[in-house]
């Protein structure tokens, strides 16, 4: 198989199981985001792919070759860390050329490569500047350029954008995605920011507690979360527990929801996104009764919290902002829950 395969990977630091039985296959040219809360094992997995960390058990296979024991400097992968790790005493050009210089590439080729890479990251003509003269976003691009100098097979990024302010971070995400598409380079980005993962990735690997929870394209993760952890971690989700009353009908606090996809009997948990819920004045075939507890304007939409007797958390309903005219606190509302929007969840 061409691409990267991780097979039954385990990593323990003494008693801490940082990674438990991780298996993953990634085709060449894909943009993969390793996403999860702090401490879930994302960086450990990236560092093992890079060869910076040894494994307790398992294999890393690149294009059918077992590279598990190959040291980092012989893998020639490009890496960018949060700290960027640029050399402050070298110029921009010297920083970018560094990996070429230590491999004995001629001065002429180094110079041409520096110019090519600076153009690639949209910063032509700054080779002679000091690193200290550049802004945070510009330094970021220089670190990316340096990581790409060796035309690496894999491009590995560990939260490189987390130190940037929100606007610049968004711009860099777009830039990174564009660059990755242009070069067609297999890329792994570690992030705890679900928006960053949604906007950049072809494939999102959601992790928690050293275990992979789901591997899928961003929209699939959002629309069809595999379990309650994924549903809750990605965007806003209403997680509701209920009991199948009769086939296709689920009793929940405040009402009954039509759900042909539910199992024939028993207790279930399902997830439904705020934008799929609707507010009505009268009950319908699939609705829950509650009272408006809180409203919040978010620009293009309005978020309505509906308190339902028996539900620990308010239901969150997202409406287009022009629909808020008749909403008042304490008002009784019927939340229509469309069956097609309900995702029955497996155990997390
Ligand atoms: P993430 O990148 O998702 O924040 P990490 O991969 O850094 O998570 O860490 C996963 C787990 O492994 C955490 O419990 C962390 O404390 C532990 N860990 C990471 N590196 C080391 C280390 N060098 N020594 C001991 N424990 C470590």
pLDDT one-digit tens code per residue, 276-332? 999 999 999 999 999 999 999 888 899 999 999 999 999 999 999 876 667 889 999
Q: Decide if 147 contacts 80 (C-beta within 8 A).
A: yes
pLDDT at residue 327, as a whole number? 84
- Is residue 13 situated within a structural domain? yes
- Is residue 158 situated within a structural domain? yes
Q: Ligand 1: distance of its center to the CA of 42 in Å? A: 8
Residue 43 CB–ligand 1 contact under 6 Å? yes
Shared domain check, 16 and 152: yes
pLDDT at residue 324, as a whole number? 61
Shared domain check, 256 and 199: no
H helix and E strand count, the chain: 9, 20
CB-neighbour burial class of residue 223 (10 A; exposed 0-12, middle 13-18, buried 19+)? middle
Tell me which residue range forms the domain holding 145: 4-219
Rounded mean pLDDT of the chain?
A: 92
Q: Ligand 1: distance of its center to the CA of 38 in Å? A: 9
Looking up residue 330, the CATH number of its domain turns out to be 2.40.50.100
For residue 348, pLDDT beyond 50: no
Looking up residue 61, the CATH number of its domain turns out to be 3.40.50.300
Q: What b-and-e string marks burial along 128-167, b requiring 16 or more CB atoms within 10 Å of the CB?
A: eeebeebeebbbbbbbbbbbbbeebebbbbbbbbeebeee
Q: Whose CA is nearest to atom 17 of ligand 1?
A: 18
Shared domain check, 171 and 274: no
Shared domain check, 131 and 271: no
- Is residue 225 situated within a structural domain? no
- Is residue 226 situated within a structural domain? no
Residue 308 CB–ligand 1 contact under 6 Å? no
Region 119-141: mean pLDDT is: 89
Give the ligand 1 atom nearest the CA of 36: 3
Give the ligand 1 atom nearest the CA of 41: 6
* Last residue within a domain, chosen from 193, 219, 245: 219
How far, in Å, CA of 140 to CA of 162, rounded?
11
Per-residue pLDDT of 55-110, as tens digits, reads 999 999 999 999 999 999 888 899 998 887 888 899 999 999 998 998 898 999 99
Shared domain check, 306 and 189: no
Q: Decide if 42 contacts 82 (C-beta within 8 A).
A: no
Q: Which of 88-97, 113-122, 160-169, 333-342 has the lowest average pLDDT?
A: 160-169
pLDDT at residue 53, as a whole number? 94
Q: Domain tally for the chain?
A: 2
Residue 44 CB–ligand 1 contact under 6 Å? yes
Residue 16 CB–ligand 1 contact under 6 Å? yes
Shared domain check, 207 and 274: no
Q: Ligand 1: distance of its center to the CA of 41 in Å? A: 6
For residue 160, pLDDT beyond 90: no
């Amino acid at each position: 198989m061409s691409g990267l395969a991780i097979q039954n990977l385990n990593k323990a630091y003494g008693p801490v199981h940082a990674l438990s039985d991780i298996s993953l296959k990634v085709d060449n040219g894909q943009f993969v985001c390793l996403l999860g809360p702090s401490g879930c094992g994302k960086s450990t997995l990236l560092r093992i792919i890079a060869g910076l960390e040894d494994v307790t058990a398992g294999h890393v296979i690149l294009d059918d070759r077992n590279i598990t024991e190959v040291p980092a400097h012989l893998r020639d992968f490009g890496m960018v860390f949060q700290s960027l790790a640029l050399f402050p005493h070298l110029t921009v050009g010297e920083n970018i050329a560094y990996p070429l210089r230590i491999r004995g590439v001629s001065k002429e080729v180094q110079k041409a490569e520096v110019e090519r890479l600076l153009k690639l990251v949209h910063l032509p003509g700054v080779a002679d500047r000091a690193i200290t003269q550049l802004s945070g976003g510009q330094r970021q691009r220089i670190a990316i350029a340096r990581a790409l100098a060796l035309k690496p097979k894999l491009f590995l990024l560990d939260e490189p954008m987390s130190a940037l302010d929100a606007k610049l971070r968004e711009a860099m995400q777009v830039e990174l995605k564009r660059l990755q598409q242009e070069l067609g380079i297999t890329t792994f980005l570690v992030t705890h920011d679900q928006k960053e993962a949604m906007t950049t990735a072809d494939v999102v690997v959601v992790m928690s507690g050293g275990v992979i929870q789901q591997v899928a394209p961003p929209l699939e993760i959002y629309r069809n979360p595999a379990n309650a952890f994924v549903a809750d971690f990605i965007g806003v989700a209403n997680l509701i527990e209920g009991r199948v009353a009769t086939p296709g009908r689920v009793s929940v606090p405040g009402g009954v929801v039509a759900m042909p996809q539910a199992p024939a009997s028993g207790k279930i948990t399902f997830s439904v996104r705020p934008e799929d819920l609707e507010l009505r004045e009268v009950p319908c075939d699939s609705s829950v009764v509650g009272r408006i507890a809180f409203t919040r304007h978010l620009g293009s939409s309005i978020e309505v919290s509906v308190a339902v007797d028996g539900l620990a958390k308010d239901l969150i309903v997202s409406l287009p902002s022009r629909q808020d005219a008749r909403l008042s606190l304490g008002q009784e509302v019927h939340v229509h829950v469309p069956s097609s929007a309900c995702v029955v969840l497996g155990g997390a």
